[in-house]
Amino acid sequence: MKKITIRKIDFPIITIALFFALSTWCVSAQKPENEFSIYGEGGFAAFRFQPMIKNASSKGYGGDAGVGFTGFISPNWGIHTDVGIGFFNVKNTVNSLTFITSGQTDCEGYLYNLHSTLNNYKETHKAIFLTVPLMLQFQTKMNQNQKVGYYALAGGKAQFLFNYKYTSKIALFNNAAYYPEFDNWITSLPILGLGVFEGNSAAGKLEFGILAMLAFETGAKWRISESVFLYTGAYFDYGLHEPTQKIREPYKNYTSPEQLKEPALLAFTDRLNLMTVGIKLRLGINPQSPFSKPQKLNGPCPYR
């Protein structure tokens, strides 16, 4: 297993995390009607390739569960955050792909073009993470007689990846060198990484990483009792960057037998963005609900 540590954390991500904590504290300090909740969500997960690749696909699943808090600043608006533990399991497949790297130089100084052909390449990503969102919540007003309302959330989400494992496997990888000056091909020279290589695989892990995502959610809010509500909705999250982008290897680096025996993740596209979509259930409890407080009776008490 290859162990790769990502030690650099971008300043904007630290700023977002501090903003999460500060905003939550400010909402709590204002003492509006607060809502505490527990939630669970699950659905489909996949990577979006940029640019898109023909004969390539990505599919998988994921979900998370945890506890949350919403501070309402008005009957319609509030700020929501939560802390949860989640996972995703995604497999990327490239059936066939040809890539040409021009302007390569051999040990004698001659220029050549490297033609790389990839057949049946597969990589699997498995991650466990801590998720912390900060989202703006809108909801329709609900009086004591209404049983259902509607809500929507939009904002950002930080996933702290503390267990990220990957595997990669190449059924067939073919390197060939074309020398334009001599109009000549070299198709088999294993010492320079030229030829056909089959059945190679590798596995590795990230020690730590942070994935920033845009997050959206919408659905119905059901009144169970005076102070208990059930949210039933659908969510969509979109990753802003790829956790493994820094460790991916371009095709031009695979020109030695050592690299081909244990290939890392291939840079078969410029960028991958994680997308998740699914169903979410959230049980909210509002102990400060005005409908849960005892109502004063007009006139003398009938029991005196």
- Asked if residue 18 is part of any domain, the answer here is yes
Rounded distance, CA 151 to CA 8, Å?
Answer: 37
Instruction: Kindly give, in sequence order, each residue whose CB lies less than 8 Å from that of residue 109, ignoring residues fewer than 6 positions away.
Output: none
3-7, 117-121, 146-150, 213-217: which has the minimum mean pLDDT? Answer: 3-7
Domain extent at residue 244? 2-292
Please state whether beta strands 34-50 and 2-4 pair in parallel, antiparallel, or not at all (unpaired): unpaired
- Asked if residue 31 is part of any domain, the answer here is yes
In this predicted model, what pLDDT tens digit does every residue of 53-106 receive, in sequence order? Answer: 888 999 999 999 999 999 999 989 999 999 999 999 999 999 988 888 888 888
pTM metric for this prediction = 0.78
- Asked if residue 298 is part of any domain, the answer here is no
- Asked if residue 304 is part of any domain, the answer here is no
- Asked if residue 301 is part of any domain, the answer here is no
Rounded distance, CA 135 to CA 216, Å?
Answer: 8
In this predicted model, what pLDDT tens digit does every residue of 197-242 receive, in sequence order? Answer: 887 788 888 888 899 999 999 999 999 988 899 999 999 999 999 8
Name the domain count of the chain.
Answer: 1
